[in-house]
Structure 1
Amino acid sequence: MSATRLLVLGVVRGFGRAHGYLVRAELLRWGAENWANIKWGSLYHALRKLAEEDLLIATEAGTPPGRVDYEITARGEAEFFRLLRLALREPAPRPDMLAAGLALLPALSRSEAIDLLRIRLRALESSRQEIPTGIPPHARELFGLWERTTDGDVAWTRQIISRLESGKYRMASEPGAVFGTAGAWPQVPA
């Protein structure tokens, strides 16, 4: 699973029609270079690959010459939601998928987001491991690190669920929702 794949689909979906520079500019605006593990040189490759997989439609824009605009397809929409749901419900060893899921969280209804985060919470709570016998004392530190990290993830997940339950953030299908609505983001000059 790729955070880049999820983010590219999400940004194209949000704008309705976007070119590579616009996708990159939007992700930079979000600070994605700090949390998404995106290689900017591979962004255009990701756009082309998603178009090859029929998840995006590529159209020559004409101005400037060589510019390609992309739109999400029905298959792309389904893949976007599959990846988004996966990113929110399944704890992953790398934080970039969760970060991408959070960046695109408003694309979901409030109830679905809460349900997915509750699944994540249960998975985190059940992931605690006992320290195996016979392991060298210094290697036991890894289990302490994992336990503290999991404790932090559990606490944070409970907090975001609580914020969502209290009405924080405007989610898809709520009055005035724009961010989670396909093609509803304001267009930015090229």
Structure 2
Amino acid sequence: MSATRLLVLGIVRGYGRAHGYRVGNDLLAWGADEWANVKWGSIYHALHSLTEGGFLLDHNDVPTRTEYELTERGEHEFMKLLRDAIRRPQPRPDLLGAALALLPSLPRAEAIALLRERLAAQEAARDKAHAQVEALVDPPHVRELFGLWEHNADSAAEWTHGIIARLEAGAYPMAGEPRSPGKPGSWHDLVFPPHPPR
């Protein structure tokens, strides 16, 4: 799964209709070029391939400016990618980063349930790595590798516990709640802060 694909669908969905430059500006303002390796070329490639695949509809109402809108198929794909990115831990952080940027697209109860699936997978990975550390005899230095995996999984599980608790306490307006940016076409009044200087 591609973080760029999820992000592009999510931004077009957020605005209801958006041109490529706006999609790219938002992604670069979020720093996605650093944490998801998003580049201008990959954005326009994603827009083109998503349109070819029937996930986006292109509009050429203004000469030299194409705007994109999610199709019903695109909405289904977006939600599928978002749910998978939340529930399934991946070695790279870009999919989780994309999912967190778009988290309010889900109802609160569903987001919490998906995060609980993620937590169970992280705890299982931690326990497996711990068992490998304990069982290893030779070569002894490989314990460091299993120890790293155990530490990473434990830290990830601790973070997941935290976001679940914050959501359960009512943090962030989620889909279906007042002021939620999760409804398609609801982003027109949002002002995203600029990415910190590098």
- Output the TM-score relative to the length of structure 2: 0.89
The residue aligned with 2:118 is 120
The residue aligned with 1:22 is 22
Q: Distance in 2 between matches of 1:70 and 1:42?
A: 16
Contact 2:4–2:42 (CA under 8 A) maintained in structure 1: no
Structure 2 SS opposite 1:186 = helix
Structure 2: give runs of 5+ residues left out of the alignment: 191-198
Decide whether aligned partners of structure 1 residues 135 and 68 sit closer, same or farther in structure 2, where only a CA change above 3 A counts: farther
Q: 1:76 aligns with which of 58, 74, 91?
A: 74
Deviations 1:42-98 (A, max 9, x none): 1101000000000000122434x2x21100000000000000000000111111111
State the 1:31 CA deviation.
2.0
Decide whether aligned partners of structure 1 residues 24 and 187 sit closer, same or farther in structure 2, where only a CA change above 3 A counts: farther
> Within 5 Å, which residues of 2 pair with 1:46-61?
46-61=46-61
Structure 1 SS opposite 2:69 = strand
Structure with greater proportional helix content: 2
Q: 1:169 aligns with which of 172, 175, 190?
A: 172
Contact 2:136–2:143 (CA under 8 A) maintained in structure 1: no
2:46 is aligned with what amino acid?
A
Structure 1 SS opposite 2:170 = coil
> Within 5 Å, which residues of 2 pair with 1:131-170?
131=132, 133=136, 135-170=138-173
Number of residue pairs the alignment of both structures matches: 185
> Within 5 Å, which residues of 2 pair with 1:29-108?
29-63=29-63, 65=64, 67-108=65-106
- CA RMSD for the aligned pairs? 1.5
Identity, in percent, stands at: 57
Q: Distance in 2 between matches of 1:164 and 1:101?
A: 15
